[in-house]
Structure 1
Amino acid sequence: MITLKKKIFTLLTASLLTAALSGCGLVEKTQEAIDNTVLAKGDGIKITQKDLATEFEMRYASIFSYYDSMYGKEWRETEDGKATIKAYKEDTLDNLLFTKLIDLKLTAAGENVETDEVKKAIDEALASDLKYYGTEEKYLAALEEQGYTEETYREEVKINVLRNNFYEKVKAELKPTDAETEAYYNENKADFDKQYYRNYYHEDDGATIYHIITGSDDAARLKALEALEKIKSEDMTFEEAAAEYGTDGTSTSGGLLGAYDYTGSNGNPQSTLAKDFMEFVKPLKEGEVSGVVKTQFGYHIIMVKDLYKKGDLNVEIKDAAFNGLFDERIQTKIDEWKKEFNVKEYKDKIQ
């Protein structure tokens, strides 16, 4: 039996500013004793209740505040509430342990060093934070509020860049192929059927479609030609050009229109885009960018990705199957690392 609820093992992003008697109940534990309770340990690993509490607060405080506002704090004392909190705390422990294992693997592989690539990623993350706060004064005040100096914050960002780089390598190694994903779906179809109420396979050829529309007059045509030249010369990515030149709502999402069939499922034209627009879409190959084209709506530049054929799994089902198979693989990898570093867990001691 599988679950379609994705088990997400997260790392902090590079940018961080987004005793026997007491066991019998005869002696009440002090807060210090509770804080020092070991929940996981191994070679180079020790996670305490205090570590868990700190991480739990950082990750989920806003979520539980929202639940409190919706249902009142008394929801926490219900059976469902207790089960929910327990599950979140266990996930927090899983993620803390995962991060510790990543750090150990980084050291073992000799990949915990600051290369030029890592330095560039650190600088970009720091620049993004500074831009977010607007001024250096506000940025430094935010660091101080979080208990950082510029030096300690940079070191924290470095650690997380290294962690994420390593995790991306692991993900690439474990990534299922399309054939593996479809086989996994077919093997577990009954479980998927319980949660998804849609057609599982595409009934027509199609693609995920992006566009940049600049308007319908001569000035718009010139803007489209200028945007196309910047894309072709790689002065801009398609996403950047959409943000600068696009005139509709897709400009804020890289020009994304969505996944559409070429002619409409079962011949239904309402499940696809306008015919004159789709005539320019259909000839495009994977990742290909069109020239400047004109439709009833104006001048466009079009790009397609993730082409699919009639009979392929729908993207929603494919993503769910992909995630299910990947989650099994990453859990197997984590279990291997736990054995490697002699990890023992004590989730029954979580408070």
Structure 2
Amino acid sequence: MKKAGLIASALLILVFLGAYGFYLSSAADKPSEQAAATKQNEANNAAIVNGKAITMSDYQAEIDRLHRQISMTGRKPDEKEMHALDQRMLDELIGRELLKQETVKRGIKTDDAEVNAQLDAVKKGTTPENFANSLKQMNMTEPQFKDYFASRLAIKKLLDKDLGSKIVVTPEEVKAFYDGNPDVFKTPEMVRASHILVKVDEAAPGEEKAKALEKIKAIQKRIKSGEDFAEVAKEVSDCPSKDKGGDLDFFPKGTMVPPFEKAAFAMKPGETSDIVETEFGYHIIRLTDKKEAGTMSFDEVKPRIEQQVRAEKMSQEYHKYVEALKSKAKIEIFVKQ
């Protein structure tokens, strides 16, 4: 079984663009009124971009999400690094607001079909429970998440239109990346295994554990008598992998809990383990395949490298694009830098 840990979907970790309020000012205001308005802006807003406010509450919500995301990785940045990350978050929000304004100015829109397709793709990549938990951790509702996709898709259309033609990746660049990063393409020894689990908590009473052990022994007899491993797994296993006949696909060392890993890596393809006890319960493991450590060939990874190089170039052009928008914008920042 895989080590317990929270894995957030890369798309769910992206920050939601809130609906910002408007800041209206008048040159005819009296000095005292202007001063009061300035103080109010400083208190209520993190920044104002071309008259559109990024509220302090929206900014703080993004900071809170960022801090939660960092804590989930196990990292503990010092105060100086956290301050720099907070500043970068505000800069990112300003850039997004400028891009959003540009899509409106240029009349670039998305339709419900596009947005729903993106949302469905995210849902298919996880379970309903994990999707709901991720939204909860990000303090987002599904309608907000849908709005986020609509905004992101419009921005993507803008960037594809204005920057897409500038991004050219040559075969020489792809080969140079491969040759210059040999460690990136090394693969560790991996095995593929299927298993049957009888779940029981390691802190369960002795009687409960004995009952589970008897159950796995009965299952073991069925396997030894020649019954199909996958069919038995589908029938009796307590692991979600039962839907795939117990198949866990390929995994390297360090992925599974130690007793499971030790048993799996000690076998040859086609062999079946004795009963293995872990913190999850009792397992019977069948090794179905093994891959030795090696290096992926250039042809195998060429498409991935092209995407990587293209993404790096797009990132560079993106920052130039946003800086150009900033140079023409009126931006007021009220957060202490």
Q: What range describes the TM-score normalised by the shorter chain of this pair?
A: 0.3 to 0.5
What TM-score does the superposition give when structure 1 sets the normalisation length? 0.43
What TM-score does the superposition give when structure 2 sets the normalisation length? 0.45
